[in-house]
Amino acid sequence: MNAPIISVRDVSVKLGNQIVLDSVSFEVDKPSLILVLGPNGAGKTTLIKLLLGIIKPFKGSVEVLGLNPFKESTKLRSLVGYVPQKDKISYETPLKVSEVVLMGILLRKRFPRFLSKRDVESAKKALAYLGMEDKWESFFNELSGGQQRRVLIARALASDPTLLFLDEIFAGLDFESQENLLDVLSMLKEKERTIILVEHELEPIRDLADKILVLNRNICMYGEPDDVLSEEKLKPLYPCLRTVEKDGKRIIFLGDKHA
């Protein structure tokens, strides 16, 4: 039997004196898109940092792609891609799109991180995959929000990772950009990548998610969308939750504020 892609067992994490994750356990056993939801301060980003081996738990065990993220971090980081929240990027640093995408390759190399012809080809291929090849020489901070998000995903994909961590990539995007990103996620799913996607709202990813993990310091719910998405179950976590019927489909707005 194959080892699970992600295995988190009874993990608790403290930041300062505060417990941010409390006895969290879950497994991802096959390539899938896991949508991680939770109110502000629920520990969603901490969960990503835990899985990347950046934050250590004080209790429990973590395995990602069969590796211990704290002891085998170098090997693990060569197998994962990461897209941070948009406010973690400095738009004051005028990098070209090419430099941003190559960052994803060069950071995985050992110092002094010499750039090879193959690296440039891989970066161009990743950018072309996202339909952004014509932006190679453009400045990153002059692109639209949706284009920037696609460039960051291209950076994450440039070294061909098996596991992707995406932190609020849909936040603040217009409808068209959201649709473009959904197409990208569909393509990645077809390629059997495992995607851990942290978001504040269910829409527009709901239909694409294989499983939904609702977090509020511990796992409140984890399962297939139809099992998790009931008003009664979500209401205690999201008091402002609203449901709307549209074209015979029930749309849930969680009503949580962006962090």
Per CB under 8 A, residues contacting another protein are 49, 52, 54, 73-74, 77, 80, 82-85, 88-90, 92-95, 99-100, 103-104, 106-108, 112-113, 139, 155, 165
Strand ordering across the sheet containing 33-37: 80-83, 163-167, 194-198, 33-37, 211-216, 218-223
Distinct helix (H) and strand (E) counts, the chain: 8, 11
Smallest gap from Cβ 76 to another protein, in A, equals 9
Interior angle at CA 235, CA 198 and CA 246, nearest 5: 80
Please, what is the minimum distance in Å from the beta carbon of residue 67 to another protein? 13
Q: Minimum CB separation from another protein for residue 52, in Å?
A: 5
Report in angstroms how near the CB of residue 54 gets to another protein at its nearest: 6
Nearer to another protein by Cβ, of 103 and 208: the residue is: 103
Nearer to another protein by Cβ, of 45 and 229: the residue is: 45
Nearer to another protein among residue 39 and residue 69 (C-beta): 69
Residue 225, SS3 per DSSP: helix
Nearer to another protein, 25 or 138 (CB): 138
* Enclosing H/E stretch for 86: none
Q: In the bound complex, what is the minimum distance in angstroms from residue 95's beta carbon to another protein? A: 6
Q: Give the nearer residue to another protein in terms of CB position, either 108 or 217.
A: 108
Distance CA(199)–CA(191), nearest Å, equals 22
Type of residue numbered 183: D
Which DSSP letter does residue 198 get? E
